[in-house]
Structure 1
Amino acid sequence: MGPCLWLLFFLTVKEVAAFVHSQQLCQVLQKDAYCSDLNLTSIPPQLPSGIHTLDLSRNFLQNLTEDVLFSYPTIQQLNLHSNRIQFIQPGFFQNMTHLQVLDLSKNLLHLNAALKSHVGPLATVWNLDLSGNGLYTDMSDYFLQDAPFLTNLSLNGNSITKLGKETFSGCLSLRNINLHNNVILEIEEGTFDSLKDLTELDLSMNSISCINDFNLFSLKLLNLSKNSMTSFQSIDSDKEFELLHLDLRENKIHYFPILPSCNKLIYLDLSRNQLRSVNSTGAAEELQYLRDKEELTHAPLRGSNYHQQLPNLFYLDLSYNHLKEVPPDFFRSMVCLETLNISNNCLSTFIVDPESPLNAVKTLDLSFNSLQNLTFSGGTLQSLDTLYLQGNSLSNLDSGFFSGLPSITSLHLQLNELSVCGLQEDQTSNCVFLSSIPTLQYLYLSENNLLSLPAHAFQGSPLLILDLSLNPGLEISEQALSGLERSLTYLSLKGDQLEMHSMDLSLLRSLRVVDLSSNQLTSLSLSKNSGIEILNLQNNSLMFLEDHTLTALEGMLKTLYISFNPLSCCVNTRLIKWAQQASVDIPDITMVTCQYRNDNEENVEINLRNVKPEHCEILNSKVLVISIIAVLVLGLMVVLLVAIKLCHSRSHRFNHSYKA
């Protein structure tokens, strides 16, 4: 065989070996090739022709040149995520006329951009991911110059500080731009004006200080959260904006933003700002001040926009601000509002009046304020389903306050100072009625300093969940839960310092979860079969659980928590059997111990699973001896009594015969 034939043979073998090797490394399914996480330093050269998807993510590719991918002109999706790509040959993608999705995220493309060479054209690409590449201002231009059909672009996690007019000039079909987590300080006027189809723009987690001329009429979603914004103002126009979703959370905004006059907003998040007022006048005043200082020479100025029209608003979040009041007429136009969150502010008063009834609101969160006066006028909040009032230290509400909410399902009243009325209580009493609310299912009354729970406190309210925990010294009437026999499934009396439980829980036939932990219970009594599935008795004073209680629980009980109780090893035979045979799940079993006395009359602590019969033999033998002694003593007493009676009888007969 001549040298040429040897060379031909060698090359053929090498190609076959490369083909076999690539086939072994990559997983090929029909027209998709998956070559991720294979430590590849180059693109496999012998993949099947005609593939549509090529996944090369999480490898060690550094350079992209035409020679290999020229063999795969049919690729539609190319994933190069998490490699070390720092050079892309100019025109690398021009022969890939079917390429639609290109993922170049988490590479070193800032090194390629430093060469100032254009990567395109990306003639058919509609989804491009350039996130996490260390790109600075203007560097993205080398990738976007010729991408006429690009609709989705991600530049997330780069180091861009400025957006200019030319940034997106080569991709005018953009609909979705993600610029999250950059360092954007400046957006040049007109940057987005040429993007007529733009509907979603994410500028979150940047360093933008204000938006004073918002004019993107076609935009539907705008995320400006986690910036340093002090104000937001749209231009004054009679033209309708398409904006539906505006996220301004975690900024430094002082006054309510000046929104488009004609808007379709359904979602507005202003949480975690520095709002002092829902009046937007302050925003205009600040703009005037800046304009007077010639800091905003081109800023459009609008007057007070106190009563902004938000007729389509569905969700409004004003939580974690500095609001001291929210006037009722602020909500006048919000006829569609379903979720309103004003928690964690400084409100002392909150009023809902007939002029602004908020009758579409289903969830109202007023928790963690300083409420002293809470007024819901009659005929308002007709759809209110969930009300959060925890953390307000409320002590005085009209006794029938909650009865006027015809759709209320869930009440969160934790961390207040409320007391509960009995069924026959006077309407003028300083307590609230929680009975006869036919829609109420979830009630949370923990940490209310409740001292007593009267009989029939919840009669006529079909509660599923009742939390009465962390009310130390709570006295519970024997009939307190009367009326909940068929509805209540969850009951928490945790941390109430209960010494005994006078209520028979087995009467609550639907009860499935009971938390009696962190009390001072010495016993638990159930009179008949119970439906309880999860029972928490941790941190009490239980020495034993009675057999009739365990019998009532057996069959339904699935999970039992019982650690941190002074259990006795020798009177809890059935409980020990449960633990050792795992017939009931005891998640805290490693911490469940009991005590027995050893030969030296010392108390020994042992895990419940390690108890053996011999640990109680000493006690049992003592019991047997004591029992025998008791029987003997009793027998001797009986004999002695009989003897005395006989002697007395004989004496009586003798005296009688003598007299005769």
Structure 2
Amino acid sequence: MGSWFLLVLVIIVSTSYQGAFSCPQRCTCHFSSKTTEVVCPDASLTHFPSESLPGNTTSLTIQYTNLKNISTHELRATPLLQELHLPGNGLSSLPAEMLKGLPHLHTIDLTGNQLRDLPPLVFYHAPLLNLVLKDNLLTSASADWLPSNSNLTWLDLSGNRLIKAPFALLQNLGLLETLHLSQNLLEELPADSFQSLPALERLHLDENKLQALDAKAFSCNTNLTHLFLQKNKLKSLPATIFHGLDRLQYLDLSENRLQFVAPGTLGLSISWVELSLNPWHCDSKMEYLWKMLNKKSVQSEPTCATPEMLKDRAIATLTRKELGLED
């Protein structure tokens, strides 16, 4: 009687977990007591690997394949999913309410697809913390992608075709800590551009087309610790633009068109300022920057572009006489 009962129990348990330890073709699966990770890196994959996909999958990666479509129904078969990584595929659209039925999903990565536009409610229904849309073809970002009470802390929209910062979408992201907008087509930043992001710590604006910044562009972002503005077209900076950013530790202004900075522009709290590859004009207007470079122990070493007699000289090594300053 006991052995018969044990046999029935084994059959019931094995039936209940049917598929829990299976693995789709062209994929690799890693099982542990708490997680099931599925990775599908085969370029010959053209469809979502529904067959044999473990129902208890917690992390699914389909990368650099020929996957061109994905459906809400397919994703709903993995209700325990926490991370979804889909980089380097051929996705040109996503279904509305894509994440419905995924109550544990906190990370989705859609890097390097062909996304031009996204439907309303596309990222509703899941408690997302990290959303990566890097290297797609997006020209705008809509407020209705995410709910108004979004818990998102990381948003990456770099490498797209945004002409303006996605202010409407950002209104929903009061908990956002990291924002990537680099490698877009941004030309300006109005006053209080990121006023809806009081928790923002890292802001990436590098490799855009910014020519000028409003003096109050970052005035509401007092928690900023890292600000990346390199590889833009900035010719000057408002003297007060970084005032009030008392937590700012790292500032990158390299590869712009700056010739000098006004006295008081760079706060003393900043431990590293990257200033190289600007066309610095080394005359008496450089006194403030020259003094600052000599005070800070950790610094980049910007050099003079003009006048010709000082070209390529490190600014910090110049003498008062060379700068045209009185003794």
**Structure 1 length as normaliser, TM-score?**
0.40
Give a deviation string over 1:214-257, Cα, whole Å, max 9, x none. xxxx982221123421121648xxxx932211111111111124
For 2:85 and 2:26, the matched residues in 1 are separated by: 13
Retained in 1: the 8 A contact 2:301–2:314?
A: no
Structure with the higher helix share, 1 or 2: 1
Equivalent position SS for 2:281: coil
Which one-letter code corresponds to 1:492 in the other structure? E
- Which of these residues, 214, 219, 243, is aligned with residue 421 of structure 1? 214
Partner of 1:362: 153
Partner of 1:212: none
Which one-letter code corresponds to 2:226 in the other structure? Y
Q: CA deviation at 1:516?
A: 3.2
Partner of 1:252: 66
- Which of these residues, 278, 298, 301, is aligned with residue 496 of structure 1? 278
Partner of 2:237: 453
For 1:231 and 1:544, the matched residues in 2 are separated by: 59
Q: What count of residue pairs does the alignment treat as equivalent?
A: 293
Partner of 1:271: 87
- Which of these residues, 315, 318, 336, is aligned with residue 107 of structure 2? 315
Q: CA deviation at 1:412?
A: 0.5
- Would the alpha carbon gap of residues 358 and 397 (structure 1) be closer, same or farther in structure 2, given more than 3 Å must change? farther
Equivalent position SS for 1:513: coil
For 1:414 and 1:350, the matched residues in 2 are separated by: 19
Q: CA deviation at 1:271?
A: 0.5
User: Any residues of structure 2 matched to 1:321-332 within 5 Å, and which?
Assistant: 321-332=113-124
Q: CA deviation at 1:311?
A: 2.0
Which one-letter code corresponds to 2:155 in the other structure? L
Q: CA deviation at 1:543?
A: 10
Equivalent position SS for 2:213: coil
- Would the alpha carbon gap of residues 354 and 268 (structure 1) be closer, same or farther in structure 2, given more than 3 Å must change? closer
- Work out the percentage of aligned pairs sharing the same amino acid: 25
Which one-letter code corresponds to 2:104 in the other structure? N
For 1:393 and 1:331, the matched residues in 2 are separated by: 24
Equivalent position SS for 1:221: strand
For 1:415 and 1:272, the matched residues in 2 are separated by: 22
Which one-letter code corresponds to 2:115 in the other structure? L
2:130 equivalent to 1:339: yes
Which one-letter code corresponds to 1:366 in the other structure? L
2:195 equivalent to 1:381: no
Retained in 1: the 8 A contact 2:75–2:99?
A: no
Partner of 2:249: 464
For 2:88 and 2:60, the matched residues in 1 are separated by: 14
- Would the alpha carbon gap of residues 378 and 370 (structure 1) be closer, same or farther in structure 2, given more than 3 Å must change? closer
- Would the alpha carbon gap of residues 400 and 203 (structure 1) be closer, same or farther in structure 2, given more than 3 Å must change? farther
2:326 equivalent to 1:541: no
Larger radius of gyration between Structure 1 and Structure 2? 1
Give a deviation string over 1:508-539, Cα, whole Å, max 9, x none. 899442223354267xxxxxxxxxxxxxx9x8
2:296 equivalent to 1:514: no
**Runs (5+) with no aligned partner, structure 2:** 1-9, 29-33, 322-327
Which one-letter code corresponds to 1:540 in the other structure? D
Q: CA deviation at 1:322?
A: 0.2
User: Any residues of structure 2 matched to 1:621-632 within 5 Å, and which?
Assistant: none
User: Any residues of structure 2 matched to 1:73-222 within 5 Å, and which?
Assistant: 196=18, 199=21, 201=23, 220-222=36-38
- Would the alpha carbon gap of residues 510 and 315 (structure 1) be closer, same or farther in structure 2, given more than 3 Å must change? farther
Q: CA deviation at 1:504?
A: 4.4
Give a deviation string over 1:237-280, Cα, whole Å, max 9, x none. xxx93221111111111112421256011010101000010128
For 2:100 and 2:185, the matched residues in 1 are separated by: 33
**Runs (5+) with no aligned partner, structure 1:** 1-171, 173-191, 207-217, 281-304, 424-432, 523-536, 550-660
Equivalent position SS for 1:232: coil
Partner of 1:390: 182
| Higher relative contact order, chain-length normalized (CA < 8 Å, sep 6+) | 2
Q: CA deviation at 1:205?
A: 7.0
2:196 equivalent to 1:404: yes
- Would the alpha carbon gap of residues 517 and 508 (structure 1) be closer, same or farther in structure 2, given more than 3 Å must change? closer
For 1:443 and 1:480, the matched residues in 2 are separated by: 14
For 1:435 and 1:390, the matched residues in 2 are separated by: 20
Which one-letter code corresponds to 1:494 in the other structure? S
Q: CA deviation at 1:398?
A: 4.3
Q: CA deviation at 1:372?
A: 2.8
For 1:196 and 1:314, the matched residues in 2 are separated by: 26
**Structure 2 length as normaliser, TM-score?**
0.76
For 1:366 and 1:356, the matched residues in 2 are separated by: 18
Q: CA deviation at 1:361?
A: 1.3
- Would the alpha carbon gap of residues 357 and 228 (structure 1) be closer, same or farther in structure 2, given more than 3 Å must change? farther
Retained in 1: the 8 A contact 2:204–2:229?
A: yes
Give a deviation string over 1:188-230, Cα, whole Å, max 9, x none. xxxx989859558586679xxxxxxxxxxx9822211234211
- Would the alpha carbon gap of residues 229 and 340 (structure 1) be closer, same or farther in structure 2, given more than 3 Å must change? same
- Would the alpha carbon gap of residues 351 and 475 (structure 1) be closer, same or farther in structure 2, given more than 3 Å must change? farther
For 2:63 and 2:145, the matched residues in 1 are separated by: 30
- Would the alpha carbon gap of residues 458 and 545 (structure 1) be closer, same or farther in structure 2, given more than 3 Å must change? closer
Across the aligned residues of Structure 1 and Structure 2, the Cα RMSD in angstroms comes to 3.7
